[in-house]
Structure 1
Amino acid sequence: MPRTTPAAIAPATTAAATTAPAAITPDIRLVATDMDGTLLDGEGRIPDGLWPRLELLRERGIAFAPASGRQYATLARQFARAGAEALSEMVFIAENGTYVVRDGRELSSAPLDRRTVVDVVRTARGLAAGGADLGVVVCGKRSAYIERRDDAFRSEAATYYAALETVDDVLAPVDEVLKIALYDFQSGERNTAPALRAFAESHQVVVSGQHWVDVLRKDADKGTALRALQRELGVTPAQTMAFGDYLNDLQLLDAADWSYAMAGAHPEIRRRARHEAPAHTDAGVLQVLDRVLGLEG
């Protein structure tokens, strides 16, 4: 497939986007999209234009799957406006692929072993004691847990974790831990990720944003989750469309023939994707859906 640039896709608000689909509409059966920097707008909100398009996707039998580092409870809250029936048909690939839920039912999960959880948390505490400005979120199935209490960190954590508990010790709660997320107020890629290099041999250390670094199982990522979902639904990569912007989206894009890097995405994402979509601030995902699938918002 040739690489598609933003200039080749008419804005979603123009007649060209709503009346002139691609010459041959592909047989897409599954759309998976990252959230931050991809689907969400510049204010971190789901674009209003998505809601009518979700209904059109449902009418065509196309499954829609948000694929995010965000918590399942957060994603379910964000998409509540779609209504109970639509929510029951959506699939949520949460916690960077370590937790996949459909209609409130777990399809798959990939919890960390206790030893890894303890070692990563203690390493993070050591970095903070040495002067690093970072906080730790232990992400369980039931809730996420933090022990750093200042407003700046709590605000960042609350953005991504709707079910969030502040505890004295993040190692104390009894819960299955899906991943450990570390928020570096300076740069996750430059500072925290290299400091966690010792874990990279046995686990994944994923830079999931400018400030976030996640530690998860070696066999867990958005792409693995998407491939399992494809098998569950009887969908092929050729029938799958995926959108992403950052390093935790690499495997997600690899699992879809119709892979799109958002304008302004991380350079490695742009190299790996087969197509390019307009920026998330310009509703790029919606523009592509309109152009390729002939949707009308």
Structure 2
Amino acid sequence: MIKLVVTDLDGTFLNSQGSFDMQWFKEVHEEMKHKGVTFVACTGKQCERVEKLFGEHGEGVWILGDSAARIKKDGQVVREFSMERTLALQAIEKIRSFDPQMTIIVCASDAAYVHSSIPDEMYDVVKSSYEQVIKTDSFAGISTSFIKITVFDPQGRCTALRKHVEQTMEGQIYIVDSEPRWLDITALHTHKGETVKTLQKMLGVTPHETMSFGDGENDVELMGIARYSFAMSNACENTKRAAQFITKSNDENGVLVTIRAMMDLQD
């Protein structure tokens, strides 16, 4: 019996236009709630951005946002996994030593912060994933807790950047290049897999009662916390190898198709 469904958003639940079939989701989610199945959005996006994305259809949805460093439900923060401040600032300096023009997004407990010198086109990219964004002249001046550091590089050098940061910080932080243009840094052992395990304990749900969906490098751990793990047909090879099953692509509504089939089997 499936009790928990966990899905990544970009490239998985969301189509190539960054949206989803709201009416179909509403119907499927109502059926899930009726049968006692919990829906979880697990994503690099800011929790508040996810809340806006689901809008009126988000009631009862658990959000593991900011690369699973925050847990929210129905507008309330349930847990946060913050970074040690000195390590966060050290990581930022290491990124700048690779390329001082890198677009750095510092996710804090109150908002996402970008440097005030950010070009307009990069700011628009940030706003596509972060609802609350503040410009600052100094990341060191942020007074609230550091949750996550994200880098966007349109040149696609994030694998090289990861290796550069790991030269001095490996074993002190969790770092993943989810795709060539995006890199995420969180506290050590803070990633989608571990945060889902925390939620499973909170809800009293086992991996055998869990279904998960993903497509990117940062979804590999997500495949390990569910007996019924699905990689999208458009997923990267590492995620496909880690998954138990392959389902339709994000542009074919693979997540909703699979959930609906599962719900039919649980009648």
Same fold (TM over 0.5): yes
**TM-score, with normalisation over the residues of structure 1?**
0.84
Q: CA deviation at 1:139?
A: 0.4
Q: State the SS of the aligned residue for 1:101.
A: strand
Distance 1:75 1:62 in 2: 20
**TM-score, with normalisation over the residues of structure 2?**
0.93
What is the alpha-carbon root mean square deviation over aligned residues? 1.5
Q: Alignment identity in percent?
A: 24
Bigger radius of gyration among the two: 1
AA at the equivalent of 2:229: S
**Alignment counterpart, residue 139 of structure 1, candidates 92, 100, 107:** 107
Contact 2:12 2:232 in 1 (8 A): yes
Q: State the SS of the aligned residue for 2:139.
A: coil
The alignment of Structure 1 onto Structure 2 pairs a total of residues equal to 262
Q: State the SS of the aligned residue for 2:20.
A: coil
2:154 is matched with which residue?
185
AA at the equivalent of 2:233: A
Residue 247 of structure 2 is aligned to residue 271 of structure 1: no
2:5 is matched with which residue?
31
Contact 2:230 2:246 in 1 (8 A): yes
Residue 219 of structure 2 is aligned to residue 242 of structure 1: no
**Alignment counterpart, residue 290 of structure 1, candidates 256, 260, 263:** 260
Distance 1:209 1:52 in 2: 32
AA at the equivalent of 2:164: A
AA at the equivalent of 1:235: V
- 1:102-129 residue CA offsets vs partner (Å, 9 max, x unmatched): 2333332210111111111112222223
- 1:197-237 residue CA offsets vs partner (Å, 9 max, x unmatched): 23222111111233110111112111111111111111111
Distance 2:191 2:244 in 1: 20
1:3 is matched with which residue?
none
Residue 127 of structure 2 is aligned to residue 158 of structure 1: yes
Contact 2:159 2:177 in 1 (8 A): no
Consecutive unaligned residues in structure 2, runs of 5 or more: none
Consecutive unaligned residues in structure 1, runs of 5 or more: 1-26
Q: Which has the higher contact order (CA 8 A, sep 6+)?
A: 1
Quick check: 179-188 or 27-36, which moved more? Answer: 179-188
**Alignment counterpart, residue 28 of structure 2, candidates 47, 50, 53:** 53
AA at the equivalent of 2:99: A
Residue 232 of structure 2 is aligned to residue 257 of structure 1: no
1:121 is matched with which residue?
92
Structure 1 consecutive aligned stretches of length 4 or more whose deviation exceeds 4 Å:
none
